[in-house]
Every structure is written in structure tokens, then in C-alpha cells.
Amino acid sequence: MKSIRSIVPGLVLLAAFLVFTLLICYVDVQPIGVAASNVGFASINKDVNEFFGAHKTIYTLTEVLGYLTWLVVAFFGLIGLSQLVHRKSLLKVDRDIILLGIGYAVMLVFYVLFDKLPLNYRPAYPWDEGVLEASYPSSHTLMLVFVMATAVMQIARRVRSAGLRFALTAACVAIAAVVTVGRLACGVHWFIDIVGGVLLAAALAALYYGLCAGKNEPEAKETK
């Protein structure tokens, strides 16, 4: 029963994401995207996009920070691989690492799904080529928020130094925040794309936290 309760927040957030996704298909849909493509919640999306404008420097920054996603994924992948090699059984790999790998896979499934079945397309920005590119949810926001949120838990479980834990956690939060705000401010996404990315990432992270609750408790002890 406790295990079921632990995943309720994640299920609620996932339901919120699905409802929000459904709403953007029907509420205030107007042709404001590239090549007059339709976008839900058009009025607020247009206002927010015009307010921020387009900024290639911010765009480049978020692109560079986006590569950190794969570095973090690779790092925890190496931890799992190392445990598998040394313990000689997948069943002996830490449960939270296995669940993290599954979480990464689910994240990528959502990424591919929305890329192949786009609900809207990106707004026009000065350096684009007028190509229709899937926009919802923001893939950078989805991946950075989920990867950094789950990294925070891994840091809490595996880093012994309190000072280092704080520094790494602060860095994860800062990177996720900069990318989330930056993808909106640079003008390559609609407001709803960012909201959708945050909702889905939060749902997956909450489910991961819930599934890991009480398992593989951190061995890290605070050091002075």
C-alpha cells in the first residue's frame, strides 16, 4: 500500500500532462505557427512569444547546456555498467540505477512519440529556415528537467561530502532552470511547449522518486 501511495504524485502529474495535452488540441487553436500551422492557446502563446522576441545567444546557450543531458545519462550508465561487470548479474545492480535506466528509456519514447506525431510546430524565428519542426513538448525542457531532477536524488544517495552534495545539487537545479526559461526566452518555443515539457518531466521524475522510495537508501553520510 505504501508503494502505491508513493507513486500517486507522479500519476497525478502525468494525468495533468495528458489533460493539458488534450486541451491544446481544442482551446483557442489558431494558425500562428510556421507556414500558418495551428497552435492551441494561440492568444497567450502569441503574446508571450512577442514579449520575449528571439535571441540567438540564449538559444545557443540552451543548446550547449542540452549536451549536459547526455553526459549525465552516460555517467549513470557507466555506474550501472560497472556494477554489472563487477557483480556479474543484472539483478545485483542497484535498483535505483536500473529504474533510472528505465526512466531514461521512457523519456526517449515520449520524445520520439511527440516528434513523430507533432501537436504543433515551432514559432518562426529569424535564423530558422521555415521548416516545420515539432515543438510540443519542449524536448530540451523535458530531458534537462527529468535528467537533472533524478540526478539530484542520485547525488543525495551517493555523494558523501555535504559541501559537494550542495554544490552539485545547486548546479543541477540552476542548469534545469536556465534551460527551461531560456528555451522560452530565446523564441524557439511556445509557452505551452515549456509547460508541457515541465509537466511531463516532473511526472516522470515523481514516478521515479516514488518507485525508489525506501529502496537502496543512500549510504552517503554527512562529513564535516
Give the model confidence (pLDDT) of 14-29 as tens digits.
999 999 999 999 999 9
Assigned C-alpha cell, 44? 497567450
Please tell me the distance from the alpha carbon of residue 63 to that of residue 59, in angstroms, as a whole number. 6
Q: What percent of the chain has a predicted confidence (pLDDT) above 70?
A: 93
Please tell me the distance from the alpha carbon of residue 50 to that of residue 32, in angstroms, as a whole number. 12
pLDDT digits (tens, 9 = 90+) for 93-146: 999 999 999 999 999 999 999 999 999 999 988 777 767 889 999 999 999 999
Please tell me the distance from the alpha carbon of residue 2 to that of residue 198, in angstroms, as a whole number. 26
Report, in angstroms and rounded to the nearest whole number, the Rg of the chain calculated over CA atoms. 19
- Its pTM stands at 0.90
Instruction: Name the maximum alpha-carbon separation found in the chain.
Output: 60
Assigned C-alpha cell, 26? 481544442
